[in-house]
Amino acid sequence: MTGEMDVEWIPLDYPEQRSFNEIYGFSGSQGRVHVEALLMRPPGRPSKTLFFFMHPVTSMDVLPVPRSLVALGCHVLCARNRYYRNDSVLIFEKVLLDIGAWMRHAREVLGYEKIVIVGWSGGGPLALFYQSQAEHPTITDTPNGDPVDVVHAGLIPADAVVFQAGSVSRARLLLEALDPSVRDETNPDDRDPRLDLYDPANPVTPPYTDDFLAGYRAAQRDRMDRITRGVKELLAIQRERGGKEMERGFVVHRTMADPRYIDPAVDPNDRRPQWCLSGDPETVNSGPVGFARFCTLRSWLSQWSIEDSRADAAVCAANISVPFLAIENSGDDGAPPSHMREVYAAATSKDKDYVVIKGANHYYAGTPELLTEASTTTRDFLSARDLLEIS
């Protein structure tokens, strides 16, 4: 027991055949996938409903939203996928299989009758990607053409989806944050000063004009397309060689230069100016933990390439039928408000709702009352639809 919470560690493994191993360690090299989760429950309060959380790379159990739901009497499973803490090699299509294994375990072993996927932050596009494929499976390979049989995986759909403080996709976040001033991918100091938001000598300063933003966004797309072309060319060379070299890692420099974080009038909300969810955007832009900093060729296509990644929440939301709740934080410094609205507009569920938590930032830092408001909103949405069974 941890405070007012019972916590149970659950390991899970299942077989998988692959042409080569992209994950370091025993669990990735022995023909099996090993994943772990924490089941968090309020002491002495049984439930037939489970809230399922997964992020593409981090663990959700130490973050505020799952714990807030437990405080309201809910049962929560914070599951990790095979790429836990290592998104440099992440393949979204394979993560779907990991979620599918957890969904089956939750129903058949843990005995939950209703499962709600809560896609918070980076888990938002992943939740909708899973639900769309669980309802309408179509995928048999990755964007690189490697086999991943989602069609015959028997994915179990969730009974509802909550999209909370999410983005359209990791690819869209990267595209809109990619620093277009970088001219040489091998030399991040070779930059076009006219496109460098952080160059004090740049005469272009906020508020940015529409013309500047249009040119800036076009330059961001040009840079992403150059990287994608290089990735595909190298993969083609490896295939033509026919040898044992199957993959390669590379670095993407300077990936936190979204004008939103410099000019609060760009996609406005109540966020703090000159800030992003990871800290000072100029520092993050050149630091080691930015978006897509370390990649493999295949992971770039599946996760970061705007033209190849399938984990697009707006596209996937158009293929779900279950009740859908979108929760926007009005002071979000991570999920752009336009992304939230785009996903909600695309959702084809006949039962959907959109709620704004006024003043909340991405992590609800310093505002426990707003965290409770958001979690209560989720609880009440599900209770009204007879999807929440707790004592």
Domain locations in the chain as residue ranges = 6-169+310-383, 172-304
Amino acid 2: pLDDT: 45
12 burial via Cβ count (<10 Å: 0-12, 13-18, 19+): middle
- Dist CA 12 CA 297 (whole Å): 28
From residue 240, give the alpha-carbon distance in Å to each of 9, 159, 245, 297. 45, 45, 11, 16
Q: Write down the residue that tokens 């938590």 correspond to.
A: 357
Half-sphere exposure of 227 (CA within 13 A, CB side): 36
Amino acid 16: pLDDT: 81
- pLDDT tens digit at each of 391 positions of the chain: 345 899 999 999 998 876 666 665 555 556 789 999 999 999 999 999 999 999 999 999 989 999 999 999 999 999 999 999 999 999 999 999 999 999 999 999 999 999 999 999 999 999 999 999 999 999 999 999 999 999 999 999 999 999 999 999 999 999 999 999 999 999 999 999 999 999 999 999 999 999 999 999 999 999 999 999 999 999 999 999 998 889 999 999 999 999 999 999 999 999 999 999 889 999 999 999 899 999 999 999 999 999 999 999 999 999 999 999 999 999 999 999 999 999 999 999 999 999 999 999 999 999 999 999 999 999 999 999 999 987 6
- Look up residue 372 and give its two tokens: 């409770």
Contact 134, 177 (CB under 8 A): no
Amino acid 389: pLDDT: 80
- Dist CA 301 CA 384 (whole Å): 40
- Dist CA 185 CA 224 (whole Å): 11
Q: What are phi and psi of 174, to 5 degrees?
A: -65, -45
Contact 387, 116 (CB under 8 A): yes
The yes or no reply on domain 6-169+310-383 and CATH 3.40.190.80 is: no
Name beta bridge partners: 295. 250
Q: How many CB atoms within 10 Å of residue 344?
A: 19
- Dist CA 350 CA 187 (whole Å): 50
